A = this chain, B = another copy of it.
Amino acid sequence: MQSMSSAPNGLSPYPIVQAPMAGGASCPVLAAAVCEAGGLGFLAGGYKTADGMYQEIKQVRALTRRRFGVNLFMPQTGYVDPAAVEAYRGQLAGEASWYEVSLAEEDIIGTSDDGYDAKLAILLEDPVPVVSFTFGCPTFAALAALRKVGTYTVVTVTSVEEARGAQHAGADAVCVQGAEAGGHQATHRDDPQIDGTATVGLLALVAQVREAVALPIIAAGGVMRGAQIAALLAAGAESAQLGTAFLACPESGADPVHKKALTDPLFVRTELTRAFSGRPARGLVNRFVREHGPYAPAAYPQVHHLTSGLRKAAAAAGDAQGMALWAGQGHRLARPLPAGELVEVLAAELAEAQSTLKAMQMRSAS
């Protein structure tokens, strides 16, 4: 791939973007390895303190001089019913007993802003090249302030309406997330009446967003091969963002049990579930999802904090059936290559698919 040294602020030199995977997978070593190979690496600001995020930014800067991105979770403003969280605590009592942990007892209502203001202040004080947002759209003022310090802003969207909102707010680009994507759906307003049924497949969504807004598109969801990246560029995207593909890399901070589960024939399908966090997120269907998914309330991030101890205990026990095994619908194609090598393989596959398409076109023109 071409050198990034003279890269402009836009996305066009970065067809391959590494998805910010909150919860440990997107560590500085992974992001830096992706950047060094010519992709756009990302840090996850979510679930960290503002200072924790800042330390990781400094670590990436020590590892690479190339451009990278930081993702922030937007504060959650919807009403969460404390009684629904307490009822789910009761549902999980057997798990707590089995894994011998106590479920978070502190007041977990009111922990829904993820330190957004403090993180934004750091990113304005000591800017990074790219900042993306999940679970909502920042204000016009916040996006303008980031642009003023030279940061390229990306808002993650899951529908045409959210893409229009992002354009209206002044985002530089949208990350279009299809139903295939692993981890949380980035839906701006979580609506339990619709739940996961309103999610749209990536290729259908890119076609609609392409015609609805003028912004560059990063396409995300189920992308594991360079031919899929070629497909998304043909559909009108500037870049493709890959999460599960990088999750399997040795540099990713995901638990080894999680990495192994991606291609374990024991796990044949994924599902959108509120079981672990209270918001629809796609993961491999395991015992925990089957038993508790149907009872999990729309209560994010309260349920995330509630299940934190359980998830840690299951991971410590090496028990894949009790962990949150986030995975996109392409998980069976995961390759445990070093991140830099994966970027190179993807770039070669992308070039090959584009050549094939070109040859097809020449043949049909003759």
Contacts and interface: CB of A to CB of B under 8 A. Distances in A.
A355 B271 CA distance: 37
Nearest to A362: B358
A170 interface: no
A207 B234 contact: no
A202 B329 CA distance: 10
A271 B196 CA distance: 10
B360 A357 contact: no
Contacts of A178: 201, 203
Interface in A323-358: 328-330, 332-333, 351, 353-358
Nearest to A363: B12
A6 interface: no
Nearest to A238: B360
Contact of A235 (B227, B269, B271, B355): B227
Interface stretch (A24-32, A109-117, A218-226, A253-261): A218-226
A231 B203 contact: yes
Contact of A358 (B208, B221, B354): B354
A287 to B, nearest CB: 15
A272 interface: yes
A204 B351 contact: no
A173 interface: no
Given A201-B222, A228-B207, A358 B358 contact: yes
A5 interface: no
Interface string A113-156: 00000000000000000000000000000000000000000000
A232 interface: yes
A207 B235 contact: no
Nearest to A357: B234
Contacts of A332: 160, 208
Contact of A231 (B198, B232, B333, B364): B232
Given A197-B272, A351-B361, A203 B230 contact: no
Contact of A225 (B179, B205, B207): B207
Contacts of A198: 269
A106 interface: no
Contacts of A204: 180, 202, 221-224, 228, 328-330
A344 to B, nearest CB: 15
A69 to B, nearest CB: 21
B197 A210 contact: no
